[in-house]
A and B are shown apart, each in its own frame.
Chain A
Amino acid sequence: MHILAVLLCLAGAFFFLAGTAGLLRFPDSPSRLHALTKADNLGLGLIVLALVVTSSSLAVALKVILVWLLALAASTSICFLLGQSMLRQDQRQDQ
């Protein structure tokens, strides 16, 4: 169980690292957003899985999963909102 949790944590950390690299290295805002949200959702999900595996009770596990679901909903919506405002800005500049 412990080894599984460590592996999951490492995999999650890898996705966070990849997302951060994308945020720093990608050329334009939409692809940066893409790197950030996708990688972070997956990274957070893997770390949450690791916490679920090592959690002592069902209540704790459910709470951690709830945190992940809320973060998923928030980051997806915020990604959409940022993308939309970027689109609006581009349209304004074109005019």
Chain B
Amino acid sequence: MSLAPIFDILLITALLLVSWRLLGNSDLFQAAVLFISFGLFLSLAWVRLQAPDIALAEAAVGAGLTGALLFATLKIVEPKQGRSKNGAQPKSCRLDRAAECPGRMHYILASIFVLGLAGLLLTAVFSLPDTANGLAGLTSGFLAQSGVEHPVTAVLLNFRLYDTWLELGVLLLALLGVLGTRDRLGPQNVTAAQPPNPVLSWLVRGLAPFMLLATVYLLWLGDHAPGGAFQAGVVLAATLVLLWLAGLGSVVRMPRHAWLFSLVAGFSAMLVLALCTTLAPDAVALAYPQSWAKALILLLESVATISIGVILASLTVLVLAGEGEANGAGAAETDGKNGM
């Protein structure tokens, strides 16, 4: 008997248990920790489903980067939460009594919406055809023409390049949103909440070369195995954030022009490609000649990796630094009150 079914059952149980505890937890810190472990279990599930590309992305983005962003947000939210705890404990309220539960209409509306969505999802699952290969056959059929040997990279960088293009646009928009709320033009001269620690600097100095090596390796691996621009970009972003935390040169010390250029490089490279391919006689936009495919994919992936890395690192640095700025502002406020 093989051990695989037992492992699968344990994994599914763990996923359900963690998600139940995650949603039912009133302590936001515990919920954030549980979210990270949920992401790790989920990436294991992707590995079991033989989708290592998604597993890598889930572990890096879902568990790692989102976890860091959640903790940073928590640091800003938590002081307020502590204050409300000193006052009145939030009571559990019964939905059938209007007086006890002022916001009950929201709960009822939300539960109707969630139940409707669950119903739709269930009908979608049950109406799936019994035997479906999706587009897998089509992809492997055209794989030889794509310029790379790994089907996922072929889809992301050739067959459906516009998906990747728009994803880079979404990342840029997210960064613009964060810059807007922080009232800043960039992460330049943003300092970490804690002064750089010598042990951390030592560790990051040792790790950074290996992480850069891993970035290049993942990028190159995308040609024939799971890997590629997104995974490499996330590793690059993690390296840049660690360098910033250790007080070493990072996105905050980049010259403004270089920073702006790295941000838009990935998106604009594909924009230029789209323009060029549209202007060519009888060609479809973003459909490039087969003979150039390999070189173009490698170029686009390298540029996209730099963009993803710098955008995600700037995003994380700005959100992480937000806690320091918020605390600083809070301290200044209380000082002012004491002065009065």
**How many residues of B are counted as interface, with CB atoms below 8 angstroms from the partner's CB atoms?**
8
Instruction: Report A67-95 CB contacts with B as 1/0, cut-off 8 Å.
Output: 00010011001001100100000000000
A-B contact count (CB 8 A): 16
Please state if B197 and A73 are interface contacts (CB–CB under 8 Å): no
Q: Which of A70, A77, A80 has the most CB of B within 10 A?
A: A77
**A84: which B residues are within 8 A, CB to CB?**
197
Please state if A80 and B199 are interface contacts (CB–CB under 8 Å): yes
Size band of the interface chain A makes with B: under 10
**Closest CB of chain B to A37's CB: distance in Å?**
14
Confirm or deny: B202 has a beta carbon within 8 angstroms of a beta carbon on chain A: yes
Please state if B197 and A81 are interface contacts (CB–CB under 8 Å): yes
Closest residue to B203 on the A side, CB-wise?
A: A77
Instruction: Report B255-291 CB contacts with A as 1/0, cut-off 8 Å.
Output: 0000000000000000000000000000000000000
Please state if A73 and B199 are interface contacts (CB–CB under 8 Å): no
* B172-223 CB contacts (< 8 Å) to partner A: 197, 199-200, 202-203, 206-207, 210
Closest residue to B210 on the A side, CB-wise?
A: A70
**Closest CB of chain A to B193's CB: distance in Å?**
11
> B207 contacts which of A70, A80, A81 (Cβ < 8 Å)?
A70
Please state if A77 and B210 are interface contacts (CB–CB under 8 Å): no
* B4-32 CB contacts (< 8 Å) to partner A: none
Closest residue to A85 on the B side, CB-wise?
A: B194
Please state if A74 and B203 are interface contacts (CB–CB under 8 Å): yes
Complexed CA–CA distance, A73 and B204 (Å): 10
Complexed CA–CA distance, A74 and B208 (Å): 12
**Closest CB of chain B to A75's CB: distance in Å?**
10
Please state if A73 and B206 are interface contacts (CB–CB under 8 Å): yes
**Closest CB of chain A to B3's CB: distance in Å?**
15
Complexed CA–CA distance, A84 and B199 (Å): 11
Complexed CA–CA distance, A70 and B197 (Å): 19
15 A-B residue pairings within 8 Å (CB atoms): A70-B207, A70-B210, A73-B203, A73-B206, A73-B207, A74-B207, A77-B199, A77-B200, A77-B202, A77-B203, A80-B199, A81-B197, A81-B199, A81-B200, A84-B197
**Contacts A74-B207, A77-B202, A77-B203 known; 5 new A-B pairs at CB < 8 A:** A70-B210, A77-B200, A81-B197, A81-B199, A84-B197
Complex A-B, nearest 8 residue pairs according to Cβ-Cβ distance, in ascending order: A77-B203, A80-B199, A77-B199, A73-B206, A81-B200, A73-B203, A81-B197, A74-B203
